[in-house]
Amino acid sequence: MTHADIMKAAGLTEADITGGTLAVRSPIDGAVVAHVKETDPAEMPAIIARANAAFKAWRTVPAPRRGELVRLLGEELRAAKAELGALVTLEAGKITSEGLGEVQEMIDICDFAVGLSRQIYGLTIASERPGHRMMETWHPMGTCGIISAFNFPVAVWSWNAALALVAGDPVIWKPSEKTPLTAIATHRIMERALARFGDAPEGLSQLVIGGPAIGEALVNSKDVPIISATGSTRMGGIVGPKVAARWGRPILELGGNNAMIVAPSADLDMAVRAIVFSAVGTAGQRCTTLRRLIAHHSIKDDLVAKLAKAYASLPIGDPRKEGTLIGPLVDHASRDRMMAQIAKARAEGGKVHGGEVAAGVEGGAYVSPALIEMPAQTDTVREETFAPILYVLGYETLDEAIHLQNDVPQGLSSCIFTLNMREAETFLSAAGSDCGIANVNIGPSGAEIGGAFGGEKETGGGRESGSDAWKGYMRRQTNTVNYSAQLPLAQGVKFDF
Ligand code: UN1
């Protein structure tokens, strides 16, 4: 299929892809595939006002009925999975199975949110006063601004939107400037769900396309109480304080510098499989990508040899092609950054395997993944580079390994490969990994949507997806009801007059 066929199959029209000011390139071959129209920043107040009008209606719709909209969205996504997945491949450069996997994550979160729509509940709490009852109620919060990144161009929207819509919040989505096409196609799918739903308020789900001025309008608006932003730590460092300064609620999902500890007892063949998928999958462009390997000295050389062998056989190239495992980086600037980091690591004493410009489709930024044995956890290792670079460090004691694992600014995902129960439990304990995600005998990437997703430190502290992440999209109200004929005060205070 040509690029044009893929865009058409995903529901994009001529008007969607021509006549605009935002040039969209496919990472596959670097070709400009569309010129998308941008939202005029001057329209943002009206867009936000529409969302807030929708909020007034949507917050009173019973949550299970709100769940019906998300159920329909899940149905529409199932029907459009192949076409939307192919568009993800075209616009973000993911291999076919990962493009489809991304849409599957959208479907999964819809299913989760539909169930959630009948499980939004608070606690009842024992009151210290006779004839009193305490409870908590979860109410819709207001408009949720969703700022998403290129690497999960559609799934990030759905993790937020599915929960926000069930929670009673309208959504305004600002996708990455690199991936507006998948956003337009996804929003069209959403519009189909809305049409089938029937009586959803106008402005419940909106899409805005453009650069920083659009994002800033959301971030700075007092009328957008929740801002969920996924992207770099640099971006989050700007967004977080701005949202906080106007008393909004930021949900930040920023950088990761995820590590795996490989202990002497580890099943090395399993570890190798986990390492390869999590270090080179999505060409190293997941925030959960494995970036640091902390291997026990006794097995390190063996592990590196196995990995170097596996790395040498990985099919790199056209992500549309059956069998390809490593597609292109998002653009040439990203490849330049990768090469610059490798040069820095080499200057710090790193021994580099791979990490070269690779042949792929003419015009795309293809690379072979890099495996770099480092003498120490240097500043370069402590930085996140959004590319397939895996730094290898050695350790002697588990304490040392955990210290290395935690001694970076980021705190998203982590894991240990061990068959030793004491080591595994220590890693998961309060004195173990400091990350939002900590796994045993599986890699750090590819988290299921059922768990809360996010991390600590410079990762931003936000949680999305499963568990009770929905609470981030609602406001909690504590209620005390007095059904007695007395008016006792708390804490035994007497105030008679
Ligand atoms: C991201 O890279 O922004 O755990 C999120 C994973 C995916 C999510 C990645 N479920 O790798």
Q: What is the pLDDT at residue 443?
A: 98
- Ligand 1 atom closest to residue 149's alpha carbon, by position in its atom list: 3
What distance in angstroms lies between residue 449's CA and the mean position of ligand 1's atoms? 9
Alpha-carbon gap, residue 38 to 113, rounded angstroms: 31
**Tell me, what's the pLDDT at 398?**
98
Distance 288 CA to ligand 1 centre (A): 6
> For the whole model, what pTM was predicted?
0.98
Rounded to 5°, the CA angle 491-493-497 comes to 155
- Give the separation between CA 311 and CA 357, rounded to whole angstroms: 14
Taking the CA of residue 253 as reference, the ligand 1 atom at the shortest distance is 3
How far away, in angstroms, is 463 Cα from ligand 1 center? Answer: 12
Q: Which atom of ligand 1 is nearest to the CA of 256?
A: 2
SS3 track for the chain: CCHHHHHHHCCCCHHHHCCCCEEEECCCCCCEEEEECCCCHHHHHHHHHHHHHHHHHHCCCCHHHHHHHHHHHHHHHHHHHHHHHHHHHHHHCCCHHHHHHHHHHHHHHHHHHHHHCCCCCCCEECCCCCCEEEEEEEEECCCEEEECCCCCCCHHHHHHHHHHHHHCCCEEEECCCCCHHHHHHHHHHHHHHHHHHCCCCCCCEEECCCCHHHHHHHHHCCCCCEEEEECCHHHHHHHHHHHHHCCCEEEEECCCCEEEEECCCCCHHHHHHHHHHHHHHHHHCCCCCEEEEEEEHHHHHHHHHHHHHHHHCCCECCCCCCCCCECCECCHHHHHHHHHHHHHHHHCCCEEEECCECCCCCCCECECCEEEECCCCCHHHHCCCCCCEEEEEEECCHHHHHHHHHCCCEECEEEEECCCHHHHHHHHCCCCCCCCEEEECCCCCCCCCCCEECCEECCCCCCEECCCHHHHHEEEEEEEEECCCCCCCHHHCCCCC
Q: Which residues are catalytic?
A: 253
Give the model's pLDDT for residue 350: 98
CB 372 within 8 A of CB 339: no
Contact status, residue 276 vs residue 446, Cβ threshold 8 Å: no
Angle at 108 between CA 104 and CA 113, to 5 degrees: 150
Phi, psi of 147 (to 5 degrees): -110, 115
- Each of the 497 residues of the chain gets a pLDDT tens digit; together they read 899 999 999 999 999 999 999 999 999 999 999 999 999 999 999 999 999 999 999 999 999 999 999 999 999 999 999 999 999 999 999 999 999 999 999 999 999 999 999 999 999 999 999 999 999 999 999 999 999 999 999 999 999 999 999 999 999 999 999 999 999 999 999 999 999 999 999 999 999 999 999 999 999 999 999 999 999 999 999 999 999 999 999 999 999 999 999 999 999 999 999 999 999 999 999 999 999 999 999 999 999 999 999 999 999 999 999 999 999 999 999 999 999 999 999 999 999 999 999 999 999 999 999 999 999 999 999 999 999 999 999 999 999 999 999 999 999 999 999 999 999 999 999 999 999 999 999 999 999 999 999 999 999 999 999 999 999 999 999 999 999 999 999 999 999 99
In 3D, which of 260, 290, 257, 273 has the Cα closest to residue 440? 260
Predicted pLDDT at 233: 95
What's the gap in Å between 386 CA and the centre of ligand 1? Answer: 13
This model of the complex carries an ipTM of 0.98
Position 214 scores a pLDDT of 97
Candidate from 88, 108, 148, 152 with most ligand 1 atoms within 8 A of CB, to mutate: 152
Q: Are strands 410-411 and 456-457 parallel, antiparallel or unpaired?
A: antiparallel
| Per-residue pLDDT at 174 | 98
Residues near ligand 1 (Cβ within 6 A): 151-152, 230, 286-288, 445-447
Q: Nearest to residue 22, comparing CAs of 216, 181, 213, 207?
A: 181
**What is the predicted pLDDT for the residue at 439?**
98
Distance from Cα 289 to the centre of ligand 1, integer Å = 8
- State which ligand 1 atom lies nearest to the alpha carbon of 445: 11
Give the chain's largest Cα–Cα span.
Answer: 87
The neighbouring-strand residues paired with 294 are 261, 393
Among residues 159, 199, 152, the alpha carbon closest in space to that of 179 is found at 152
Nearest to 467 by CA among 260, 146, 159: 159
Q: Which of 146, 148, 160, 287 to mutate to test the pocket of ligand 1 (most atoms within 8 A of CB)?
A: 287
Reading the block at residue 218, the tokens are: 């959301």
What's the 453 CA to ligand 1 centre distance in angstroms?
A: 8
Give the residue, by CA position, lying nearest to ligand 1 atom 7.
446
Question: Quick one: which atom of ligand 1 is closest to the CA of 448?
Answer: 10
Scanning the structure block, which residue is given the tokens 């499989």? 273
Amino acid letter, residue 306: K
If one counts every other C-beta atom within 10 angstroms of the C-beta of residue 118, the result is: 12
- With the most atoms of ligand 1 within 8 angstroms of its CB, the residue from 88, 290, 445, 467 to mutate is 445
